[in-house]
Structure 1
Amino acid sequence: MHRTWLVPVRHRLVASGLTLDALVSRSGYSKTRLSALLRGKDYYPGWAITYSVIRVLDIPVSPLLRLWAAAAEEAGKDTGWIKNRISEVPSLPSEDQPVAHRGFTQAMWEPYTAYAQAFLQSERRARKVVARTFDLLWLTWDEATATPDTPRHAWQLLRRTVLALAPRRPDGRPDLRAAAFSTVVQTGITDPFERLHRIDILAEFFDLITCLPPDQMDVTVLRYLCGIPDDAVPGIVGLPPAITHTLDHHARGALTQLRLNPDSQE
């Protein structure tokens, strides 16, 4: 995940029509160093060379700086190294976040975080993943708004980011069982034996949810693990109400069938 920020850079370079030679002449860095940066291999680039490229390509600096810093941390760079690399670049120009992007971020922050936390458990990790998603969305906002359905585009970006980091079962499915420990229902049970029994039941049920097709799983997680109201789900996942209602109906039927015939999930 630590090279995610390179994706919009590469896309913008292709869209710009600039050759690598033109990028060399405008950035002031050698072809060897720029090639290594764009390949995303061999070394983690400093902020100065990264900044020179994104300024040439007219990419918003603020969201990409946050992604670059988070990625540097994931790549094993310590805080001192990151701060020193950032300090090598003069103060950044102020940037205006697109108004529509800001409004979308405010509207989707809570449901996106709830979905992420269902898979990642840690609220801190969930918030970081959601922030990363919105920064990536800012960097590709023109592409997102050019699609037939911006909320759907954004939702798919979020779920890819979340599921790439989620723990996995041996068969490759996301592992939701740990969510059983943090449900509101079981935290109110005072008897420890009853609580453990309820956790076992919930963990088994949550495990079945990940056997569902992707859209059914998403609707189920939002409705029954995150407690999102039924009428709010369509706007979050970017699907018409009739379709989300059908997905919910089929998911509940499939879960009932899986509980009655556990061998059918194999």
Structure 2
Amino acid sequence: MTTSFTTPGPAPEPVPLRPGRKLGPIAATVGSAHRAWLDPTREHYLTSGRTLNDLSLRIPLAKSKLSELLRGIGHYPRWEVIHRLAEELDIPGWPLHRLWKQAALDAGKTRDWIERSTENTAGTVTTAPSGPPLEHGALRSMVTAGYRRYAGAFLPDPATRDAAIEDTFAILWLSFGDALASPDTRRYAWDILRATVQAKADHRDHRPQLTGAAFDTVALREQPSPEGEMAQLAETLELFTAISRLPDGQLDVMVLRRLCGFTAEKVSDLLGIPLAAVRSNERHAERFLEDTIELPDTGGATP
């Protein structure tokens, strides 16, 4: 029996009005790793009813600098500041620290800088994380294996793949209130996974590449000759290149069905969408692929 994480959620409360100028948008130059923790931090601030003036008295940091921090402008912030902000806004510290640290490395910060930035908060969030919500843990136990298979199709390096999975659940933890209020928690979590994986994947023409998965697929098949192996590789690369051009919904379904070998029912559970939507996406994707290339017999996934 399928366990549903669909929740109607409480009616959203109106966001408290705050005096002063409205917080500006995140700067266009902010990268995906930085956004991973900045987006939920801004959301916590915007729904808290707190003002920049109020927070600047508690952190302490000038109101203008707080505004820049929440827009991703200026120097990458030290952890001491983010930690104080997290305490004021009641943001879980451990997942926030994980995402902050990854973004710091992506921003070119050294490990020495990171350690110095956290030295005054040692032992608070960096050693033993407090547990996430029970529903978060239950969802994670159900979907981790499927998430790992999907991520591996785009991220052949196991360390990068596992980092994407951990980042996904850290982001989900930070925004779990929004996840519970969404129409389906599984769908909310999957959208985070897709964005996280695609941010780490190699791209061509703005689409994530499946080249590594193509090589792995051919490596698993016995070929009678080197010439046969090269022909099979070229055919598989053509197929996976075509799959990478599919819209996100169809791409997800085809990766889970064709590459991971999951049943349509399992795909429905992972994506948090109706079984009919899975089958519709698969039909549309196959029609596109048939019009684009000659589909090889891959053995198929179970119906």
Same fold (TM over 0.5): yes
1:192 partnered with 2:219: no
Deviation for aligned residue 1:173: 2.6
Please say which of residues 251-260 and 72-81 is displaced more in the overlay.
Answer: 251-260
Which consecutive unaligned segments of at least 5 residues does structure 2 have?
A: 1-31, 296-303
The aligned residue for residue 107 of structure 1 is 142
Q: Return the match for 2:151 from 116, 122, 126.
A: 116
Counterpart contact for 1:179–1:203, Cα < 8 Å: no
Counterpart contact for 2:264–2:275, Cα < 8 Å: no
State the TM-score, normalizing by the size of structure 1. 0.90
Instruction: Name the one with the larger helix percent.
Output: 1
Deviation for aligned residue 1:145: 0.6
Question: What are the residue-to-residue correspondences of 1:68-83 with 2, within 5 Å?
Answer: 68-83=100-115
Q: Aligned partner of 2:220: which letter?
A: T
2: distance between equivalents of 1:125 and 1:96?
24
Deviation per CA, 1:32-89: give whole Å up to 9, x if none.
4323322212211111011000100000001001111111111111122212222221
Which consecutive unaligned segments of at least 5 residues does structure 1 have?
A: 262-266
- The change in CA–CA distance for 1:207 and 1:198 in structure 2 (over 3 A counts) is same
1: distance between equivalents of 2:256 and 2:47?
36
The aligned residue for residue 93 of structure 2 is 61
Q: Aligned partner of 1:50: which letter?
A: I
Question: What are the residue-to-residue correspondences of 1:112-261 with 2, within 5 Å?
Answer: 112-170=147-205, 172-183=206-217, 185-189=218-222, 191-259=225-293
- The change in CA–CA distance for 1:260 and 1:202 in structure 2 (over 3 A counts) is closer
Matched residues, number: 259
1: distance between equivalents of 2:131 and 2:165?
20
Relative contact order (C-alpha < 8 Å, sep 6+): which is higher? 2
2: distance between equivalents of 1:95 and 1:142?
17
Deviation per CA, 1:83-131: give whole Å up to 9, x if none.
2222221521662310110111122112112212212222211111121
2: distance between equivalents of 1:80 and 1:18?
33
Secondary structure at the counterpart of residue 88 of structure 1: helix
Q: Aligned partner of 2:75: which letter?
A: Y
2: distance between equivalents of 1:65 and 1:260?
48
Counterpart contact for 1:176–1:206, Cα < 8 Å: yes
Percent identity of the aligned residues? 36
1:97 partnered with 2:128: no
Q: Aligned partner of 1:98: which letter?
A: P
Secondary structure at the counterpart of residue 110 of structure 1: helix
2: distance between equivalents of 1:188 and 1:111?
23
Please say which of residues 80-89 and 57-66 is displaced more in the overlay.
Answer: 80-89
State the TM-score, normalizing by the size of structure 2. 0.80
1: distance between equivalents of 2:41 and 2:160?
25
